Chains A and B, each alone.
Chain A
Amino acid sequence: MSQETLRVQKISAHAGPIPGEGTQREYVVAKLIDTTTCIGCKACEVACMEWNDLPFGETIFDNTYQTMPETRWNYWNLILFNEHEREDGTMQWLMRKNQCMHCAEPGCLAACPSDGAIVQYANGIVDFHQDNCIGCGYCITGCPFNIPKFNPQTKRVFKCTLCNDRVQQGLEPACIKACPTGCLHFGSKEDMLDLAGKRATQLREHYNFPDAGVYDPPGVGGTGVIYVLHDAKQPELYGGLPKDPHIPLSVKLWKGPIKWLGNIAMIGGLVGLFIHYLRFGPKDREDEQIREEILTAEENAVKSQENRPVVKAVANQEGGEPTKGERT
């Protein structure tokens, strides 16, 4: 979803400097999701589809409230419903609004091979530009949260934009606008962390959730979407939210050391072969020399046979210059 009025700070697969990088400072924005006050009404899901003009798709009914098992290329915002039995035997609903986390160090952007297909704006929003997308799906591999989804018709990958078209106009994302319980908040990352911290303290001290905490995983440099969880020690309970997400090690190796070693090897190989040619040349060079020697020897033999009578004639003339005879 290309939006050009926001400043860009990271561009996927971009050779050279990033135009306009660092010329302007912006607030890093964040969405705060307080899972403890989510009622699972799915207003955010509907608002997302409405605002982003996403076509309606079939839902899957699996005897739960959950609309479908995971997000789709045209369904970017999905509440995951989890029934959790606590140690004392009581049941607890764990509902988590799942969408792109807008990582500060995005794995999708690191993995992307197409110039400008994925950008990170100065306010921290990670956005796909489908015009530049080649549909390789490397972002799917790079993402630790299973968010980017491939559209087989258009061969492009889509995900939540954090409604950057609204944010750049000073509005909050559509999901936040629609939330009826106020469990969704939007603002600067700083403010959201402050608010989340206060809410977590409240949960620990007054609501008997001793493990309540804020989810802002440092493994991906922090995220543009942060959660308040009842139990921050077990984020996996919330529909498999990874405890310590990282850009996959193999993606880091591939885009880091393997790439540089490969480049050095390829350039070194070219230079090495060229130097080898300068030093040793082709294998049949001496054949050529031999061939030339044979040819010249044959030619000389022919010439000397032709010249022999002439030379004799010249030699017979007294006082004749021998060089003349050789020239004829």
Chain B
Amino acid sequence: MSQPELLLPHNRILRYEFHERLTHWVSAGSFIYLMLTGLAFWSPWLFWLAYVCGGPQISRTLHPWVGVVFVIGVLFLYAMWHAQMHTTETDKEWWRNIDHYTKNEDELMPPAGRYNPGQKLLFWGFVICAVLLIFSGVILWLPEYIPWNLRILRYLAVIVHPGAALLSIGLFMIHIYMSIFAERGALNSMLGGDVPVDFVRRYHPGWYKEVFGDSPAPPK
């Protein structure tokens, strides 16, 4: 399958359309605020972050509302991307060779598609975390409305919410590392929307094949 409509001048390919980039950055921005205020409530040693985020009371007031924005963002990301995020046979092979990937021996990896299996894991991880966070978060948002007889819900929420938050912070750290430090050019693809053909050939050979077919060099 050849998709020449994705081709841009100067040997570049459109990777993320405007609405994809916008949704990503709404989710990302709200996540960063949630992470900072959440860490402030997580540890006394990080409580100063609450002052950075507008003051302790403001942080407490905004955290749940920003959480709603984040979850809406993730819902849209899910709607846009979930069809492309299913694991394929090649992906399973990819995971078996993950040690080569971590050592930057990408030429030994099975070809990744438009999203490599790590990105797919990141996507599903964030979707699951968002679901867990919003359900536990609503309980923590309005604890005074949870009757005494249902206090088990609050007890669950104080475990689920930090647990899912820690998981998502782990995913976030890997995401930042990969997109800014490891795969240079990935951040630009989410800002400008396009990537060089070389980038696709290197990191997403499966997608390259989808776009250009079997031709070794892109049509000029």
- B205 smallest CB distance to A (angstroms): 14
The DSSP consensus for interface residues of chain B is helix
A281 within 8 Å of B (CB atoms): yes
Binds A, one of B26-34, B38-46, B121-129: B38-46
B21-72 contacts to A (CB < 8 Å): 40-45, 47, 50, 56-57, 59-61
Question: Per-residue CB proximity of B94-128 to A under 8 Å, as 1/0?
Answer: 00000000111010000000000000000000000
| Residue A258 is within 8 A (CB to CB) of chain B in the complex | yes
Contact B155 A141 (CB under 8 A): yes
Contact B159–A250 (Cβ < 8 Å): yes
A137 to B159, CA, bound (A): 15
Confirm or deny: A294 has a beta carbon within 8 angstroms of a beta carbon on chain B: no
| A70-B148 contact, Cβ under 8 Å, with A136-B140, A137-B140, A141-B143 | yes
Complex contacts, B163 vs chain A, CB 8 Å: 258
Enumerate chain B residues within 8 angstroms of A281, measured Cβ to Cβ: 104
What is the distance, in angstroms, from B17's C-beta to the closest C-beta of chain A?
Answer: 24
Q: Let me know if B41 and A250 touch, CB within 8 A.
A: no
Contact B56 A282, beta carbon cutoff 8 Å: no
Contact A269–B170 (Cβ < 8 Å): yes
Closest to A141 in B: B154
For B148, list chain A residues within 8 Å (CB): 70, 146
B159 close to A273 (CB less than 8 A): no
Residue of B nearest to A140 (CB): B143
A15 to B50, CA, bound (A): 14
- Of B5-13, B77-85, B176-184, the one contacting chain A is B176-184
Interface string of B169-190 (1 = CB under 8 A from A): 1100110010001111100000
Q: Would B57 and A155 count as touching, CB distance under 8 A?
A: yes
B residues within 8 Å of A by Cβ? 40-45, 47, 50, 56-57, 59-61, 102-104, 106, 140, 142-144, 148, 151, 154-159, 162-163, 166, 169-170, 173-174, 177, 181-185, 198, 202-203
Please, which residue of chain A has its CB at the minimum distance from the CB of B158?
A254
CA distance A228 to B19 in the complex (A): 67
Task: State whether B166 touches A265 (Cβ < 8 A).
Answer: yes
Q: A320 at interface (Cβ–Cβ under 8 A)?
A: no
Given contacts A273-B173, A277-B177, contact A282 B155 (CB under 8 A): no
Looking at the complex, which one of B61, B156, B157, B182 makes contact with A282 (CB distance below 8 Å)?
B182
Q: A41 an interface residue at 8 Å Cβ cutoff?
A: no
Nearest CB to that of B59 among chain A residues? Answer: A134
